Each structure stands twice: as structure tokens, then as C-alpha cells.
Amino acid sequence: MSIDRFSGADAFPGVLRHAMAPGSSSFTEFLSAAAPELLPKPHLVSDIAPHGTTIVAAVYDGGVVMAGDRRATMGNLIAQRDIEKVVAADDYTLIGAAGTAGIGIEVVRLYQVELEHYEKIEGTQLTLDGKANRLATMLRGNLGLAMQGLAVVPIFAGFDTAASDAANAGKIFSFDVAGGCYPERYFDAIGSGSPFAKSSLKKRWRPGMSADEIVRVSVEAVYDAADDDSATGGPDLVRQIFPVVMLADDEGTRRVPDADLDVIVRAIVDQRREQPGT
């Protein structure tokens, strides 16, 4: 009975056989070995699958904001009015995904588990740069085909607890189809409405804004994107559906309540009534 106990998955009986094999602290890598069918499947871009659409991120004095619209479209149809594209990846970071909605949600969910998994195994969190890099690696490795089909593009932002200057601890990272990870200094946007959102932010964003100011500017950027992109949803005052706006600062992540957004959106609408433009 000289079974080599380190002969891989066969050495350990039962449900834990894959879990007992030596490996890294990455949940995605573990899934590839133990249950590859659970990983998000790459799809080709198609009008049959719903598409998600404009997400902006910007730094402010003391943190970073991320705002995303609520619309999912299927060709010319609105598939969902209140889809949430911006979520907290962990206690100090935010992630948003644009593109095929189903894949985006899976990617985000997998990434949240990836970060928590690392923390539980290692006993410590990754650094912010490590988390961004990990997201890039996940995109590159498991979803290479998806990225070639442009199915999902994420944007990642967070408060860097290791930064020396809390006022400038907010950081943003964007990603490209090759899985590259790029720190963005001031603001960025992704999705079909991102050119309009970025043009809006270009005029309204300033360094060192307060939380209230940055929320106003971000909501306005999504509003401007919705104004020119049919795939981006504007605020729905009738149903009280507003963009998801989340902040990450030294106290962690929080979502701006709909009641506050209602006030901001009404102010924007009133101002635009004065200067409608085309």
C-alpha cells in the first residue's frame, strides 16, 4: 500500500479531492481544475444577448466614485430597466462591467469570490495594484476569447489603504482586450456611451472635488451619455430608477441613496430646461 500521497487529485478520496491538491490562492485557477464548467463561458458578441452600457469612474478628494446606468438592451428592445452594473468588489474597491450583461455579472461575481478567497487563504488582502493585476490576469487567461469578441470590459477603482496621502488615495484602472491593466489618473468611462460621458467629465471634472461635487458631476456624465446613446439609460423619475453611484473612501464602500440622487437629478433636469441644446 505505497500510494504516493502527493500523486495529485487521486490521492485524496471524496468531495475534497480537488480541493486538497496543491495550488495557488486563486479561486479562478482552482475552478479551472476542479469545475471548469462553472467558469463564465466566452460568447461571441450578438444582438441576441443583452448589452450593458455606460460606466464612469473619477477620483476626488479622499476617494473615488463609480457610476453606472441601469439599462440592458437586446437590439432595439430594453431587456431590463434596473440592472446594477456597479458593485463593491470588496471592502475598499468597486468594479463595473460593460458589455454582454450576463457575462458581466458572472465576471464580477467570480472576481468578488476571487478576492475573498485570497484573503481567507492568505490571511491578508491583496494590495490595490495586486487586485487590479489579478483582474487583468483573469480576463487574459480565462476569458481571452470573450475579450476578443469584446463581450465584457470591466473598470476597476478603489481606495488604496496603503497610500501615504489619503486625499489622493483613490485609484482607477482600465483594461483592454489584451488583458492589459492601465492606471487612470483622473477619470475614465467604459461602454457604448463612454465617449459622451468622457466629454462631459472633461468639462466638469476638476482635481480635489468634494464627494458631493463628484457625485453631481458623475451623474451628469451618465445623463449626458444617455442623451446621445440609446443603449444607455437615463434617470427614470417616474419609476425612481437612478444610476448606481458608489463611493470608496477610507471608511470603505457605500452606495449613494436614491433619495440623494433624486435631488441631484431634479437639479440637473431644471438646469437643462434653461439650456436645452440638441
Partner 1 sequence: MTMPFYASPEQIMRDRSEYARKGIARGRSVVVSTYTDGVLFVAENASSALHKVSEIYDRIGFAAVGMYNEFENLRVAGIRLADMRGYSYDRRDVTARALANAYAQTLGGLFTDQQKPYEVELCVAEVGPGPEDDQMYRISYDGTIIDEPNFLVMGGQADALTSELRRTFTEGLDLRGALGVSVRGLGSVGGNGAPRTLPANQLEVAVLDRTRGSRKFKRIQGAVLTALLPAATTGGAPAAEPAPADTPPHDEPDQDGGSAGNSGDTPS
Give the residue numbers marked as catalytic. 53
Q: Does residue 6 interact with partner 1 by CB under 8 A? A: no
Nearer to partner 1, 143 or 209 (CB): 143
Q: Looking at 7, 8, 36, 38, which residue binds partner 1 (CB under 8 A)?
A: 38
How far apart are the two ends of the chain, measured CA to CA in Å?
A: 81
Nearer to partner 1, 117 or 255 (CB): 117
Residues 107, 127: Cα–Cα separation, whole Å: 20
Neighbours of 81 (CB within 10 A): 12
Closest separation in Å from C-beta 226 to partner 1: 33
Burial of 43 (0-12, 13-18, 19+ CB in 10 A): middle
Nearer to partner 1, 5 or 273 (CB): 5
Q: Looking at 8, 46, 75, 109, which residue binds partner 1 (CB under 8 A)?
A: 109
Q: Does residue 15 interact with partner 1 by CB under 8 A? A: yes
Q: Looking at 81, 120, 185, 266, which residue binds partner 1 (CB under 8 A)?
A: 120
Q: Compute the half-sphere exposure of residue 71: CA atoms within 13 Å on the CB side of its CA.
A: 23
Q: Does residue 27 interact with partner 1 by CB under 8 A? A: yes
Closest separation in Å from C-beta 5 to partner 1: 6
Q: Does residue 84 interact with partner 1 by CB under 8 A? A: no
Q: Does residue 9 interact with partner 1 by CB under 8 A? A: no
Nine-digit cell at 27? 479561486
Q: Does residue 211 interact with partner 1 by CB under 8 A? A: no
Sole window of 47-55, 116-124, 167-175, 185-193 interacting with partner 1 (rule: CB under 8 A)? 116-124
Closest separation in Å from C-beta 37 to partner 1: 9
Q: Does residue 123 interact with partner 1 by CB under 8 A? A: yes
| Phi, psi (rounded to 5 degrees) for 196 | -70, -40
What are the distances in angstroms from CA 222 to CA 45, 187, 243, 257? 24, 13, 8, 17
Residues 154, 169: Cα–Cα separation, whole Å: 20
Strand boundaries in the chain, DSSP class E: 55-60, 63-68, 72-74, 77-80, 86-90, 93-99, 152-159, 170-175, 181-184, 187-190, 244-249, 252-255
Closest separation in Å from C-beta 31 to partner 1: 7
> Which bin fits 174, alpha (ψ -120 to 50), beta or left (φ > 0)?
beta
Nearer to partner 1, 123 or 276 (CB): 123
**Under rule CB under 8 A, how many of the chain's residues touch partner 1?**
27
Q: Does residue 8 interact with partner 1 by CB under 8 A? A: no
What are the distances in angstroms from CA 138 to CA 63, 66, 176? 25, 21, 12
Q: What helix, strand, coil percent values describe the chain, rounded to 5?
A: 40, 25, 40
Nearer to partner 1, 47 or 250 (CB): 250
What are the residues binding partner 1 (CB under 8 A)? 1-3, 5, 12-20, 27, 30-31, 34-35, 38, 109-110, 113, 116-117, 120-121, 123
